[in-house]
Every structure is written in C-alpha cells, then in structure tokens.
C-alpha cells in the first residue's frame, strides 16, 4: 500500500517513473559521496589503525590508510546497498551478479583482454603521471612483501567496487531501464576515477561499457573483478623498483 502511494506521488511529477529508480538513485549517489569524502586516510580512526597493524604486522600508516578506503568501499558500496535492496525488492544475491557458474566464457574473454592490455599498460607505466601515482603507497615501490600483501587485500576493494557498479547498480536499475542501466553505471564509474592520470580516467569510459557487457553476458561481476585487479596490479608492478631489479634490469 505504501509502495503504491509513493509510486503515485512520483508519477504525478515524473509520469511512469515510480518510486523505485528514485530511491535507487538516492542510495547510489549517497554511498558514492560518502565513500569519496570518508575514505581519505586522514579520517582513518585510531581503532582501525590499531586493529589493522595487529592483524597484518605492517606499521606503515600509508598502507593502512589505503586499507581504510577498502574497508569503507566494502561497507558503503557493498553491504549497505545490498541490505537495502534485499529488504525493499527481495533481489537475491545471484540476481545482483554474485554468481559465477554461467561466466566461463567471460573469464576466457578477460584472460585474452588482459594479455592484449599488458603492452599498453607497460607503455603507459613509463609516463610521468603514472610514475607519480603508482604504486599507491611508497613502501610497495621497494618492498615486494608489502606490495604482495597490499594487493591481496586490495581484492576486497575490487570485489566491492565491481559489485557496486557492475552488480548492484547494473542489475537493480536494469529492472526499470533494461540494458540502458549500462549508461547509468558507466557515467559515475568514469567520474569516480577523478584524480587519476588523465588517460586512465578517459579509458574508464570504455572500460565501463566493456565490464558491463561482460557482467550482463555472464550475469556475474567476477570476470570484471579478475581483469580490473589484474590490470591494476600489473600497472603498479611495472612502477616498482624491486620488480625490475629482480629481472636484472635496474630500478
């Protein structure tokens, strides 16, 4: 009854829209804004830093500042919208792209794409803008152990990130807008790259379309998680000193 009343109110202003895409837009916008502002390392609470140091044995504050951002991404862009949607729409987790069984072909596609991307990643990693940006923490540039641990934990961020844009947002809005939900997902995804090197931010537009296509075809976020994590890790790897020293090619 309440849902019908709210639909009626919205339809008077925006005919045919209904309340559902309105509250989805409010949720999506709110969690992205909160993540953007609250994930700054300067806002990391002491309890999180103390707990993270105890669990990882790493004392580098910059390392844990990044983990704070990963934690908030998981909570704000993963858990919060999921709980709300489970309650309001009863969408199952599989309906929001968390399944994997139908995505075999998509995993093969992202493997091929990654192999094709590596030469471009290597080329762009030599640009000054990338050298200034990556690795995200200075310690990872010279310490392989820090690098590996950081990127293992980064998988939590990639899962939550892909789930928000290519899972929850893509499939929740798809109920109202069909495959046009790709457009709704891609615009904020590209804008959330603000502050990254320009070529990376621009490439996020194409990446948004490709990752949405993969998610829709396989009904799964996991191929997107795999290629996003692989490309990001490789880009940072090429910006480290220890990797090139290990190859005997200097720093």
Backbone angles phi, psi at 45, to 5 degrees: -75, 155
Cβ(236)–Cβ(136) below 8 Å: yes
- Specify the pLDDT at position 250: 61
- Specify the pLDDT at position 213: 95
Residue ranges of the domains in the chain?
A: 2-246
- Specify the pLDDT at position 92: 84
Buried b or exposed e, range 163-198, using 16+ CB within 10 angstroms: bbbbbbbbbbbbebeeeebbebbbeebbebbeebbe
Buried b or exposed e, range 56-73, using 16+ CB within 10 angstroms: bebebeebbbbbbbbbbb
- Specify the pLDDT at position 125: 80
- Specify the pLDDT at position 167: 95
- Specify the pLDDT at position 90: 80
Low-confidence ranges of the chain (pLDDT < 70): 250-251
**pTM, two decimal places:** 0.90
Q: What is the tens place of the pLDDT at every residue in 15-28? A: 888 888 999 999 99
């Amino acid at each position: 009854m309440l849902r019908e009343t709210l639909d009626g109110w919205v339809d008077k202003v925006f005919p045919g829209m209904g309340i559902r895409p309105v509250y989805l837009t409010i949720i999506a916008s709110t969690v992205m804004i909160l993540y953007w502002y609250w994930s700054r390392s300067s806002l990391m609470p002491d309890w999180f830093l103390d707990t993270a140091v105890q669990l990882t044995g790493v004392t580098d504050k910059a390392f844990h500042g990044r983990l704070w951002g990963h934690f908030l991404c998981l909570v704000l862009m993963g858990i919060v919208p999921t709980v709300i949607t489970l309650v309001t729409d009863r969408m199952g987790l599989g309906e929001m792209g968390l399944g994997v069984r139908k995505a075999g072909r998509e995993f093969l596609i992202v493997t091929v794409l990654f192999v094709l991307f590596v030469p471009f990643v290597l080329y762009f990693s030599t640009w000054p803008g990338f050298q200034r940006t990556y690795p995200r923490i200075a310690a990872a540039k010279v310490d392989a152990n820090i690098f590996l641990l950081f990127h293992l934990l980064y998988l939590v961020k990639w899962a939550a990130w892909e789930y928000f844009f290519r899972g929850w947002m893509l499939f929740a809005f798809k109920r109202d807008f069909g495959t046009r939900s790709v457009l709704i997902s891609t615009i904020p995804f590209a804008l959330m790259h603000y502050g990254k090197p320009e070529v990376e931010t621009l490439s996020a537009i194409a990446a948004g379309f490709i990752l949405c296509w993969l998610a829709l075809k396989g009904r799964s976020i996991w191929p997107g998680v795999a290629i996003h994590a692989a490309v990001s890790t490789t880009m940072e790897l090429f910006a480290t000193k220890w990797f090139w020293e290990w190859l005997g090619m200097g720093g």
